[in-house]
């Protein structure tokens, strides 16, 4: 069985919902708090490759709004990756890695993809 790693924040409601949802399906995910433990650069790159940096970079939160304009611009993939590594709360959460699969966010599409991974194991 592939290990499920949930990259997020321990106090993030969506991350907690994802962990609970996975546990209800018999999976024991590992929650990695990106603020204290950092973000795995390879997993972050996989999420960016799968979804695009503009999806993985959360520009709706308070962390983004608190950044000075000169830090936010210009934006491209390299800059988005750098910003997420410097400020992990900028990542759309959670990023879930299971084997070669990676998801970001926790909507119905992500749940369906995770369900397929769990059933396939």
Summarize pLDDT for 34-87 with one digit per residue, the tens: 999 999 999 999 999 999 999 999 999 999 999 999 998 889 999 999 999 999
> Could you give the number of structural domains in the chain?
1
Nearest to 7 by CA among 27, 49, 37, 28: 37
Specify the pLDDT at position 99.
87
Contact 29, 8 (CB under 8 A): no
Residues catalogued as catalytic: 12
Q: List the CATH number of the domain containing 112.
A: 3.40.30.10
120 pLDDT more than 70: yes
- CA-to-CA separations, 20 to 52, 91, 100, in angstroms, rounded: 27, 20, 22
Specify the pLDDT at position 1.
54
By percentage, how much of the chain surpasses pLDDT 90? 88
Specify the pLDDT at position 121.
67
- For all residues of the chain together, what is the average pLDDT? 93
* Overall residue count recorded for the chain in this entry: 121
Cα angle at 64 between 20 and 102, to 5 degrees? 40
Q: What is the mean pLDDT of residues 1-30?
A: 93
Other CB atoms within 10 A of residue 38 CB: 12
Specify the pLDDT at position 73.
86
Q: What is the mean pLDDT of residues 93-121?
A: 93
Residue range(s) defining the domain that contains residue 108: 4-119
Specify the pLDDT at position 2.
67
Contact 90, 64 (CB under 8 A): yes
Contact 109, 31 (CB under 8 A): no
């Amino acid at each position: 069985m592939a290990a499920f790693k949930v990259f997020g924040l321990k106090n993030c409601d969506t991350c907690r919902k994802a962990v609970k949802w996975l546990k209800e399906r018999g999976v024991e995910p590992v929650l990695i708090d990106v603020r204290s433990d950092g973000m795995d650069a390879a997993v972050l790159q996989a999420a960016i490759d799968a979804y695009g940096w503009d999806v993985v970079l959360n520009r709706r939160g308070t962390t983004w709004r608190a950044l000075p304009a000169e830090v936010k611009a210009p934006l491209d993939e390299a800059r988005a990756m750098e910003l997420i590594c410097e400020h992990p709360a900028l990542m759309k959460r959670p990023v879930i890695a299971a084997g070669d699969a990676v998801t970001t966010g926790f909507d119905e599409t992500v749940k369906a993809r995770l369900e397929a991974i769990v059933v396939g194991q």
